[in-house]
A and B are shown apart, each in its own frame.
Chain A
Amino acid sequence: MPIVVKDLHYTYNAGTPWAVPALRGVSLTVGDGEFVGVIGPMGAGKSTLAQHLNGLLRPPPGTVWVDGQDVGAREGDLLAVRRRVGLVFQFPERQLFAETVAADVAFGPRNLGLAPDAAAERARVALGMVGLDYEALKDRSPFSLSGGQQRRVALAGVLAMGPRYLILDEPTAGLDPAGRRELLGLLARLHREQGLAVVLITHHLEDVVRLAQKVVVLAQGRVAMAGPPAAVLGAARRPQLRALGLDVPVAARLVDELNRRGWQLPGHVVREEEAVAAIVQAAAARRAPGRGAAEGPDPAAPWGSRPAAGGGDPGA
């Protein structure tokens, strides 16, 4: 069963001089076990949308459904929604509070009414999921850990609730490239191995393009585009993405640049490994006699002269 959002509107400080419309009729679906990337520039309404998905902001009745439950229904059980839909805020390490890592991660399960030992077991499993060693860390203060570790502990705190949907608001913000890669790898693994549906909210298309099955672009509180990455990030759409202030992924930029110089690479290529394969193939065709590849100094020669062995390497 999916999360379904239908024509959701939301205005901050409604009825005061500070009224700011944040969502103006957003509709989307997050399928069971689906990996969805929600992208958009700052102020597009991404975080506001996220908070409606687990009832932190109460949606109007009939606009947000989680596994068939109307989140906005008056008599609705919000705890049931929050158990299903785990929300990881931006800089989640800033919510750590307990004296020990184990107690902090067990906070969620305890709120669900689990006994201390059952909650501790959940904490052990959750810390394992984020690649941390429970025995080594359980008695340490969360404040004594490194920033990257703190973020994983905070993520484990949400995973320990046992959600079916994991919503992450800019989870890679403030991480170095290695930390970012690790975290994205972790999300991919959770999606693959635990069957979790993941909603990754970010303004980095690069993070989304590799992992997401579906991309939803929000702009000014509306869904500007939605679909599989190859369609949303396809060549025809890229000027629009740039106009929104979003960075098009490197592989797509490379394809655009080569096409500008006379190559004919398919516009739906947005992932690095696809780009490499397409370029290698095109280069081979260009080198073949009879094709018009010999006009003057070929700017793409270094690429064309490379052996085809690079084709299988994702380059990551």
Chain B
Amino acid sequence: MLRDVTLGQYVPGRSPLHRTDARAKLLAGLCLAAALFVVNAWAGYGALAAYVLAMALVSGLPLGLVVRSVRPVLWLVALTVVFHGLFTPGTPWAGWGPFQITVEGLDTAGRLAVRLILLVAGVSLVTLTTSPVALADALEWLLKPGQRLGLPAHEIAMMMTIALRFVPTLLEELERIVKAQQARGADLETGGLLRRARALLPVLVPLFVGTFRRAEDLALAMEARGWRGGVGRTRWRAPRWALGDTVALAGSLLFFAWVGWRFR
């Protein structure tokens, strides 16, 4: 269950997508998101889905992995579908008493679902093929223009790196605690919502205690190694922008622009 969360996980590889500069991937990802929310025709979603699928194939990752990365948001998708299906006025499609599912509702719900799924799949492709460090560097680069306005670009990027770095660690810790409480007979999987929320207490308290302990240790370790923020910090591995990155990014952006303009 917990291992389904692939967000923030990085699978090393040597595919063209892996080797593309993180900044190009980040920009393409952002533009994909923008395109998804501009496009309003099913054919447009089809084109963007084809783009995501093509990238997944280029990445050389098992397709099941990319599909799995979408799984955590499926409940959100389901919720959206239910709400829109039920509460959009229009031509009734099916219904029980006061509850009416409308054709328009299903249509809206379908569009939202496709948007969400493609968005998460696209973002996952970026994180799956980019090392967290490279990703944070790219983010810092992206935020750099904001630095003049007092935006702490380096600190934000550092926080991102640390957060991503600790996702698997905390999941592991969570799994251990869940197991330890299950070993004491805790039942976390059945019962009503309230019961289940109460049953989480024996899991959440140790998790928070552990997280604070880790945070303190990490702060100490960073200070011990002389971390004083971003000013004057040099890089061990400076990212290098290649011609291929320009081509890939320009190609993607042109494609998004065309799809966005054509299927508005």
Which of A's residues lie within 8 Å of B, judged by CB?
13, 15-17, 51, 54, 56, 79, 82-83, 86-87, 89, 92, 94-98, 107-108, 111-112, 143, 157-158, 161
In the complex where A15-B64, A17-B62, A89-B176 touch, is A158 in contact with B183 (Cβ < 8 A)?
yes
B11 at the interface (CB under 8 A from A): yes
Contacts A56-B183, A89-B176 known; list 8 others, CB within 8 Å: A16-B65, A94-B209, A97-B201, A107-B184, A107-B186, A111-B184, A158-B183, A158-B184
A143 to B212, alpha carbons, bound, how many Å? 14
Q: Are B11 and A17 in contact (CB under 8 A)?
A: yes
In the complex where A17-B11, A97-B202 touch, is A111 in contact with B183 (Cβ < 8 A)?
no
Nearest chain A CB to B172's CB is how many angstroms away?
11
A107 to B209, alpha carbons, bound, how many Å? 19
By beta carbon, the residue of chain B nearest A86 is B183
Of A15, A17, A89, the most chain B CB neighbours within 10 A belong to A17
By beta carbon, the residue of chain A nearest B202 is A97
Number of B residues with CB within 8 Å of any CB on chain A: 24
Contacts of B201 in A (CB 8 A): 97
Nearest chain A CB to B188's CB is how many angstroms away?
11
B147 at the interface (CB under 8 A from A): no
Q: Are B185 and A17 in contact (CB under 8 A)?
A: no
Q: Are B180 and A108 in contact (CB under 8 A)?
A: no
By beta carbon, the residue of chain B nearest A91 is B176
A16 to B5, alpha carbons, bound, how many Å? 13
A75 to B81, alpha carbons, bound, how many Å? 34
Nearest chain B CB to A171's CB is how many angstroms away?
13
B205 at the interface (CB under 8 A from A): yes
B181 at the interface (CB under 8 A from A): yes
CB-contacts of B225-259 with A (<8 A)? none
Q: Which 3 A-B pairs have the closest CB atoms?
A: A111-B185, A97-B205, A108-B184
Nearest chain B CB to A119's CB is how many angstroms away?
11
B210 at the interface (CB under 8 A from A): yes
B90 at the interface (CB under 8 A from A): no
Q: Are A89 and B206 in contact (CB under 8 A)?
A: no
Q: Name 6 interchain pairs, CB-CB below 8 A, sorted by A.
A: A13-B3, A51-B179, A94-B206, A107-B184, A108-B185, A157-B184
Of A83, A95, A108, the most chain B CB neighbours within 10 A belong to A95
Task: Annotate B146-186 by CB proximity to A: 1 below 8 A, 0 otherwise.
Answer: 00000000000000000000000000000011011111111
Q: Are B206 and A87 in contact (CB under 8 A)?
A: no
Contacts of B217 in A (CB 8 A): none
B187 at the interface (CB under 8 A from A): yes
By beta carbon, the residue of chain A nearest B61 is A17
A236 to B65, alpha carbons, bound, how many Å? 48
By beta carbon, the residue of chain B nearest A13 is B3
A96 to B177, alpha carbons, bound, how many Å? 10
By beta carbon, the residue of chain A nearest B208 is A97
By beta carbon, the residue of chain B nearest A110 is B185
In the complex where A15-B64, A97-B205 touch, is A161 in contact with B184 (Cβ < 8 A)?
yes
Q: Are A97 and B62 in contact (CB under 8 A)?
A: no
Contacts of B61 in A (CB 8 A): 17
Q: Are B184 and A97 in contact (CB under 8 A)?
A: no
Contacts of A94 in B (CB 8 A): 177, 206, 209-210
Contacts of B186 in A (CB 8 A): 107, 111
Nearest chain A CB to B173's CB is how many angstroms away?
8
